[in-house]
A and B are shown apart, each in its own frame.
Chain A
Amino acid sequence: MSEEKFDVIVVGGGLAGSTAAYILAEQGLEVLLIERGNYGGSKNMTGGRLYSHSLEKIIPNFAEEAPVERRVVKEAVTMMTENDAVTFNFRSPRLAETGSDSYVVLRGEFDRWLFDKAEEEGAIATSGIKVDELIVENKKVKGVICGGEEMLADVVILADGVNSLLAEKAGLRPRVKPSQVAVGAKEVYELPSKVIEDRFGLEENEGAAWLFAGSPTNGLVGGGFLYTNKQSISIGMVVNLERIGESDKTIEDMMNEFTKHPEVAPLIKDGKLVERSGHVVPEAGLSMVSTLYGDGFLICGDAAGFCLNIGYMVRGMDFAIASGEMAAKAVLKAREKEDFSSATLKIYKDMLDESFVMKDLSLYKKFPSFMDNPRIFNEYPEMLSNIMADMFIVNGNHGIPLRKKAMKHIKSVGLLNLVKDGLRGVKSI
């Protein structure tokens, strides 16, 4: 057994883990940060956009040095049927104000930067090493085992991602259920910056974020996404796993139809595919947050289930960073008391409860069950697109009052359903 004992071992060099290691190393603690991939971020992927606020607090003006792709100035949400698209668009300089801005990022580069920052601050950052299991004695986490070698610490911070095999194997949290997660698939298409800027109406360094609901997911809960990088476009979709077995299409079929949709195909035209990635996304919001702390350990980021998808907004990375920060602060408090038991580490949960992390998860706790409604992905996009068609198509037939046209399409879904779902929707956000 190794003689050495670290103050803290952080498992996982993603955003939560690297943030925690960065802060703890900055405070002079002896931190071991362990990443199984060959560099921080090499196993990670996002849609994806990072809301800057939580990292901005820790590393002010981080976007000046970090490898961000583009700052989002344009938001779009599209309801889609097989051939149609109805889009809501929002562009505002307010989206790009420091502290309320957001950046499109690619995790392979971005996480690597934060991982290296943690190392610069003095953390012992190791990559290419997999933690095989936790050392647990009398329900207290004492350290980790990598390739047969034991490493000990006062506290272990688990930031090992949505699957968190370590926490599950040690019995610290239950296995993730299919209904709680979505599978995400993404493709990155390389295109010249100028082409991207022209296609999306952007200036240099400006970015667009675009979400799609309806036909892409073949009636299942989920949606498509598109984000502009500097010299590429990230495009993909997420599909909840609960009913995926009943689908008559594979996720690959859905991806192909989505990327060939008349609204989407021209956006990625002539792009060269440079990567196809996949990942599991926590989607159940508050209801999947389980164990957060215990004797000698804390769980943060995706491993804790911190992720929020409310249809027009998807967040996870800002939660990961904030939870990594709070995990670090909890460890610092525990050191003051020289007590790393669950009684002291509970302060992590208290901090989370007081912060936007738990407040936002609580606020939107009804959203996942609201989304579990096939009308949102089938009937409503169809209804909206039919109303639009009646509004915009002129073919020489005499006109009918808009309210009558609209009512015809609303009746096809059922006015009562619309009112009921509308109320549920409003209550869930």
Chain B
Amino acid sequence: MSLSIEEKLSVNKFFVDEENAHIEIDPAYPDLKEKMKLVNACPAGLYKLNDDETLSFDYAGCLECGTCRILCLGTVVKKWEYPEDTKGVEFRYG
């Protein structure tokens, strides 16, 4: 029963906006503490710390909760918008 977060997200329904990233980050932001907030808090596990302490991030599995915006807008998070019309996650259960 041990599914990875990626496997868990794969059961969700997403309409990914391939053209437009609704969240943009600074992956090389210098303060590790700021980056760890995102690594720990994102409920989709989309922020991962690389060996060189930069961040990897993919907006495609975003649950649009706004956690990263609340924590780090203005530091690591450079832009945070809701996805465009009809795009993004669609909760069938919720």
Contact = CB atoms under 8 A, between A and B. Distances in A.
B55 to A, nearest CB: 13
A235 B8 CA distance: 14
Interface of B: 1-3, 5, 8-9, 11-12, 15, 33-34, 36-37, 39-45, 63-67, 69-71, 73, 81-86, 88-94
A44 interface: yes
A106 B41 contact: no
Nearest to B3: A273
A99 interface: no
A308 B39 CA distance: 27
Contact of B70 (A37, A45, A178, A245): A178
A269 B1 CA distance: 8
A252 B47 CA distance: 12
Contacts of A194: none
Given A41-B94, A107-B91, A276 B64 contact: no
Given A241-B71, A279-B65, A251 B43 contact: yes
B84 A280 contact: no
> Chain A binding site: helix, strand, loop or mixed by DSSP?
mixed
Contact of A128 (B3, B66, B70, B85): B85
Interface in A27-81: 36-38, 41-46
B82 A38 contact: no
A385 interface: no
Interface in A252-288: 252, 256, 259-260, 265, 269, 273-280
- Binding site of B, secondary structure by majority: helix, strand, loop or mixed? loop
Contact of B94 (A46, A128, A163): A46
29 contacts: A36-B85, A38-B15, A41-B94, A43-B64, A43-B88, A44-B91, A45-B91, A129-B85, A130-B84, A162-B66, A163-B70, A175-B70, A178-B71, A185-B43, A188-B93, A241-B37, A245-B33, A246-B36, A250-B39, A251-B42, A265-B1, A269-B1, A275-B92, A275-B94, A277-B12, A277-B63, A278-B43, A278-B44, A280-B66
Nearest to B80: A165
Interface in A408-427: none
B5 A106 contact: no
B65 A183 contact: yes
Given A38-B90, A41-B91, A187-B8, A245 B65 contact: no
B19 to A, nearest CB: 15
Contact of A275 (B11, B34, B40, B67): B11
Given A163-B66, A278-B63, A45 B94 contact: yes
A345 interface: no
A309 interface: no
Contacts of A280: 65-67, 70
A239 to B, nearest CB: 8
Contacts of B3: 273
